[in-house]
Amino acid sequence: MIISEIFLLHVLRSNSTCKFVSFDFTHTFLPTVYVTVFILGVIGNCLGLKSMYDNWRKIGNVNIFVFNLCLADILYLLTLPYLVVYYASSSKWIFGDVFCKILRVCFCINLYGSIGFLTCISVYRHLGIVHTLRAKGRITARHSVMIASLVWFLVFLQCLPDMFFDKTNNNVTSCFDTTSDKYIRKYLKYSIGRTVVGFGIPLLIMLCCYGHVAFTLMTKKDIDVILKLRCLRLVVILTLLFSICFIPYHIFRNLNLATRIFKLDGTCLKWYSNVYIANQVGNGLACMNSAINPLVYLFNSDELLMKCFVKCGRARRQSAAVSLVADCPLQN
């Protein structure tokens, strides 16, 4: 009896703690991040597009993926002013239910579009360094365009179900980034599936590609040591930035959805408010990717890796020539 009373008291305290989640952090943190990312992202992506235009032939077919990456980032950046107005006005939505759904779906499409094209770039770089001779001349611009179109199509299919979930309350004064409590259980399943397909699989592909690239660079003895170290450092930075921007977003997004379900079931956790704050920080980190991409992918990085491509290509051509000479018998 005493144990049951203690348990009941614990639940009541947990519920009283969980009912009052402060949104002050969100209303201060997200507008600040969104404004900063919007300014830096627009400037960076515009300069990045100019840099890509000036070096179109030098970069190669990867420029098609880089262009689509810029396009996804810019389209996402255009949604930020509306979100700044929303969160800065204490989460009061004034643009209607339809536009709320369009805005949230655009966020989804551009977010996972960026992930998709970053993955394509990592695969291209892997082929260029690890399989230089095999890939040379076989991946044409037409192939790159077809792959880019396929990425957009798959991302659209992945984000389309988000349109069918409630995004506003009855008074249309809120614009949920997930959905209302009524459909939260279904949305959690959809969110987990989207995380696995839209982020988990691309993350594994990127880790495998850049891991193999790092291994190839470390084992190559005919590449300048300084150039090798710079390339390795770049590969590590690219992988870390991708992980830092997107891993917290997906983990805490799904964890926050789960805690909302726990609350509806009457089992409220004391650390619910901490999960909510972590979820908002994850949103900010995911947003920052649009401002970071131009700095990492459009300035110097491809030029540096192209040197590795050339070095690896020369080394393999020389080794192929040596083996050919060794295999040919001497003629008297």
Over the stretch 82-93, which tens digit does the pLDDT of each residue have? 999 999 998 899
pLDDT the model gives residue 130? 77
pLDDT 10s digits, 185-239: 999 999 999 999 999 999 999 889 888 888 887 787 766 666 667 677 777 777 7
pLDDT of res. 3: 44
Q: Which residues contact 134 (CB under 8 A, 6 or more apart)?
A: 127
In percent, the amount of the chain with pLDDT more than 90 equals 31
Q: What pLDDT shows up at residue 65?
A: 86
Position 296 in a domain? yes
Does residue 216 lie in a domain region? yes
Q: Could you list the residue range(s) of the whole structural domain that residue 300 is in?
A: 26-315
Task: Specify the pLDDT at position 133.
Answer: 63
CA atoms within 13 A on the CB side of 33: 20
Per the prediction, the chain carries an average pLDDT of: 79
Candidate from 133-142, 272-281, 297-306 with smallest mean pLDDT: 297-306
Which run of H or of E encompasses 182? Answer: none
Mean pLDDT in residue range 34-47: 90
Whether residue 111 lies inside any domain: the answer is yes
Q: What is the CATH number of the domain that holds 152?
A: 1.20.1070.10
Q: What is the mean pLDDT of residues 162-171?
A: 87
Indicate the DSSP class of residue 202.
H
- The set of residues, in sequence order, having a beta carbon less than 8 Å from that of 117 and lying 6+ positions away, is 65, 66, 68, 69, 72, 148, 151
Q: Is residue 325 part of a domain?
A: no
Residue 295 and residue 44 in contact, taking contact as beta carbons nearer than 8 Å? yes
User: Is the pLDDT assigned to residue 150 strictly greater than 90?
Assistant: yes
Amino acid identity of 117?
A: F
Instruction: Tell which wins on pLDDT, 281 or 130.
Output: 281
Q: 19 in a domain, yes or no? A: no
Burial (0-12, 13-18, 19+ Cβ within 10 Å), 119: buried
Q: What separation in angstroms does the CA of 245 have from each of 65, 203, 287? A: 19, 12, 8
- Examine residue 1 and state whether it is found in any structural domain, yes or no: no
Concatenate the DSSP letters of all residues of 259-316 into one string: HHHHHHTT---TTHHHHHHHHHHHHHHHHHHHHHHHHHHSSSHHHHHHHHHHHHHHHH
What's the pLDDT score for residue 32?
A: 94
Assess whether pLDDT exceeds 70 at residue 328: no
State how many domains the chain has.
Answer: 1
Quick: pLDDT tens for 286-323: 988 888 887 765 554 555 455 555 555 454 444 444 34
Establish if 124 belongs to a structural domain. Answer: yes
Residue 18 placed within a domain: no
